[in-house]
Amino acid sequence: MGVEEIFKWCLTKGRGRKHRGVRKIKPDIEEGRNHIEKALHNLRAMEHNIKGDFTDWAVSAAFYAMYHSLLAILYKLGYESRNQKCTINTVEHFIRKGKIRLDLKYIAMIKSADELMGTNAKTLREEFQYGTLTKVNKEVLNELKNNAKEFVEATQVAFEEMKA
């Protein structure tokens, strides 16, 4: 399925009282800003976990820093998401439609192949959150840390540039 088909599927899953997709809401800049703050909080948690040698939790914090950045953008656009795949896809949909000025490389950072490990931030997070491994390769961790910081910074700029 392509980006358009997934977006339509996500909107369908967004129907009903307890939805599991994306739904159109009134734009909420304040909630968007709250998600930016959560992203920054998660970056601090990532750094704290790296310093404390809890590298498995640093992976989760890095992923959620990126994820909350995307949620911020959706709230400003007037969308609510309760599904990670839908969040990522919906932001990609709006980048492709020209409503968000954000390079698609940031979508790739969170969803597509990472050259160092052949995986992505979401997959890494799932491996370390649900698996038994507690140590992350330093090169992989360093790249993920740098990507997460760049990602959050770029999405903050995109958020501020967007019209509500």
Strand bridging mode 22-24 / 79-81: antiparallel
- Give which of 24, 17, 8 is closest to 89, Cα–Cα: 8
Q: How many CB atoms lie within 10 A of CB 83?
A: 17
- The CA distance from 125 to 137, in Å, is 13
Measured CA to CA, the distance from residue 164 to residue 158 in angstroms comes to 12
Q: How far apart are CA 27 and CA 47, in angstroms?
A: 32
Per residue in 15-51, pLDDT tens?
988 889 999 999 999 999 999 999 999 999 999 999 9
The predicted model scores a pTM of 0.88
In angstroms, the CA 67 to CA 41 distance is 12
Instruction: Report how far apart, in Å, the C-alpha atoms of 163 and of each of 22, 106, 158 are.
Output: 20, 20, 10
Please return the burial class of 27, using the count of CB atoms within 10 Å of its CB with bins 0-12, 13-18 and 19+.
Answer: middle
pLDDT at residue 130, as a whole number: 72
Domains of the chain by residue range:
3-161
Top CATH class of 3-161 equals mainly alpha
Give the model's confidence band at 112: pLDDT under 50 very low, under 70 low, under 90 confident, else very high.
very low
Contacts of residue 39, Cβ cutoff 8 Å, sequence gap at least 6: 64, 65, 66, 67, 68, 69, 72, 152, 155, 156
Least confident of 20-29, 83-92, 95-104, 136-145: 136-145
